[in-house]
Structure 1
Amino acid sequence: MCSAIAVNAPVGVMDSGVGGLSVLKHLTRQLPHEHFVYFADSAHAPYGNKSASQIQQRCVTIADTLIDQGAKALVVACNTATAAAIGSLRQRYTLPIIGMEPAVKPAAAASNNGIIGVLATTGTLQSAQFAALLEHYGQSVQVVTQACVGLVECIEQGQLNTPHTLALLQQYCQPLIAAGADTIVLGCTHYPFVRKHIQQIVGPNVTLIDTGAAVAKRLQQVLEQQQMLNAATEAGDYVFLTSGTEETQLVMQQLWGLTD
């Protein structure tokens, strides 16, 4: 049994930038009494074009910051960071660490025609973790992948509706539409913030899947197993940290205020 201080401690959530706020929304719905500390590493975003060692160094720095804030568990709310660094993080720290992965398995199960698309960063699509996902869950379906270069940067700047962002979305969704995908995985935590635009482009009959809800359920399961759930009855609070600028803080407020 954990002490009362540990049980009431916050959960640390990290991302390469503001995208992980889409995961935090699921976490706060699933675990409304937990406290959260969120760190957006926007000064070093995007992670998709960085080496594994660079990402690992950033993740250790952020994890140390969150642990200094008293974090009792960590959520790596970034597919690219999970692929590059979660193994080394789990070797380094003893607290529970929950990661992300593109939802290939649920997408394969949801698809009616056996064609699924994956929108993700280059780093995620080139990772060994993603290759393993395809090996395990992609054998019975056709998987069409699309690297979305430049899209994270647009969302980091809060540019959700600009002509440039919409043009990128059109460009990246088109190959998936052409391939006949009836299910598309949002393989980066930034992408749910432009979900409605993606849905408009691909049409109402295409199912969009992200992993935020699954991560929230997994965190709850782990905290229950470790007897670390916050026993308080009042709503938890949130602290937002960033390596970025004042502009980043404004974008975080903008995205956190959006409703699904």
Structure 2
Amino acid sequence: MNKKESPTDNSLPVAPVGFFDSGVGGLSVLQAVRRILPHENLIYFADSAHCPYGNRSGDFVRRRSLAITGFLLAQGAKAVVVACNSASEAALELLRLTFPGLEIIGVEPAVKVAQSMSKNKKIGVLGTPLTLRGGRFFRLLNDFSAGMEVYTQPVAGLVELIETGCLDDAQTTAILKKNLRPLLKKGIDTLVLGCTHYPLLKEDIASLCGPQVELIDTAEPVARQLRRRLLSTGRLNPGPGSGHIEYFSSGAVQAVNPVLRKIMADPALVVSQSSV
């Protein structure tokens, strides 16, 4: 897919959908979009030079989100998915104000879905400190936690391991066990994965939680929302054929490239360096 040279190109159905995350976690959302919208051309930006966002200040994350969204728009993006809970928490409203003509979709912990699925009304939420202390999450709890017991667990160190491709090693498992233990002791039957990195470890998390705990992430709901928005604005790519995916990173591509290849199961995948 050729890069777009004019932002007016983003009115076309063949224009790409842009995604960004602090690193590789947003690939869990991109994969869901790929399944539901196979004809769409996609651009993924991993802000690996500044990962993780979860321990950064809100101001820092807003500055990075503005810069990256501007980059994606310059590539001709017709929509941008903020595929990062921390960036959605810190920057989503600002992005929509700054880019009023651009379709911008964020992610948030799926508390509403968990409320409808929990049988014993005990829900756990794994997330980054920035997400769990944020106003958007507070409003979610106010709106959808009535009659529920919601237990939050801020996680440290897990995103950094995922960024290095450590998806199934002993250190990753140890961090998962440490953070799941207090939630499981509370008797939760539903666990919200409140960071887009965590679904990349979904099988291991499910194994540690056991069959009595339902895992919920936001990837497929976000993909369906993107489809609805593109359809309503007449910008859904009708095909034929599979769309292309381009990858960019602010980090060292020699380090990022093998991790993306592993997650996407694509040995030919190439990440381009970005100076944004």
Q: Which string of whole-angstrom CA distances, capped at 9 and with x for unpartnered residues, describes residues 51-95 of structure 1?
A: 111001001111111111110110000011001001010001121
Partner of 2:78: 72
Counterpart amino acid of residue 29 in structure 2: V
Match of 2:54 among 48, 52, 65: 48
Work out the CA distance in 2 between the residues paired with 1:123 and 1:167: 22
Counterpart amino acid of residue 74 in structure 1: V
**Contact 1:42–1:248, Cα closer than 8 Å, also in 2:** yes
Q: Which string of whole-angstrom CA distances, capped at 9 and with x for unpartnered residues, describes residues 219-253 of structure 1?
A: 00000111111122111110011111111111011
Work out the CA distance in 2 between the residues paired with 1:196 and 1:164: 16
Structure 1 stretches of 4+ moved >3 Å = 2-5
Work out the CA distance in 2 between the residues paired with 1:4 and 1:158: 33
Q: Which string of whole-angstrom CA distances, capped at 9 and with x for unpartnered residues, describes residues 188-244 of structure 1?
A: 000011111111111012100000000000000000111111122111110011111
Is 2:129 the counterpart of 1:122? Answer: yes
Partner of 1:140: 147
Work out the CA distance in 2 between the residues paired with 1:202 and 1:244: 34
Is 2:42 the counterpart of 1:39? Answer: no
Match of 1:217 among 208, 224, 227: 224
**Contact 2:11–2:78, Cα closer than 8 Å, also in 1:** no
Work out the CA distance in 2 between the residues paired with 1:17 and 1:252: 10
Give structure 1 stretches of 5+ with no counterpart.
Answer: none
Change (3 A) 1:4 1:200: closer
Partner of 1:201: 208
Query: How many pairs are equivalent?
Result: 257
Match of 2:263 among 248, 255, 260: 255
Is 2:95 the counterpart of 1:89? Answer: yes
Partner of 1:102: 109
Higher relative contact order (Cα pairs below 8 Å, separated by 6+ residues): 1
**Contact 2:9–2:15, Cα closer than 8 Å, also in 1:** no
Q: How far apart are residue 4 of structure 1 and its match?
A: 9.1
Query: Sequence identity, in percent?
Result: 45
**Contact 1:33–1:236, Cα closer than 8 Å, also in 2:** yes
Change (3 A) 1:5 1:128: closer
SS at match of 1:56: helix
Partner of 2:270: none
Q: How far apart are residue 21 of structure 1 and its match?
A: 0.3
TM-score under structure 1 length normalisation: 0.96
Give structure 2 stretches of 5+ with no counterpart.
Answer: 1-7, 267-276
Work out the CA distance in 1 between the residues paired with 2:166 and 2:88: 25
Work out the CA distance in 2 between the residues paired with 1:125 and 1:232: 39
Work out the CA distance in 2 between the residues paired with 1:150 and 1:168: 8
SS at match of 1:70: coil
Query: What is the alpha-carbon root mean square deviation over aligned residues?
Result: 1.3
**Contact 2:49–2:251, Cα closer than 8 Å, also in 1:** yes
Match of 1:159 among 150, 166, 170: 166
Work out the CA distance in 1 between the residues paired with 2:9 and 2:49: 36
Change (3 A) 1:5 1:197: same
Work out the CA distance in 2 between the residues paired with 1:198 and 1:16: 22
SS at match of 2:191: strand
SS at match of 1:7: coil
Counterpart amino acid of residue 244 in structure 2: D
Q: Which string of whole-angstrom CA distances, capped at 9 and with x for unpartnered residues, describes residues 21-43 of structure 1?
A: 00000001111100000000011
Match of 2:32 among 26, 32, 36: 26
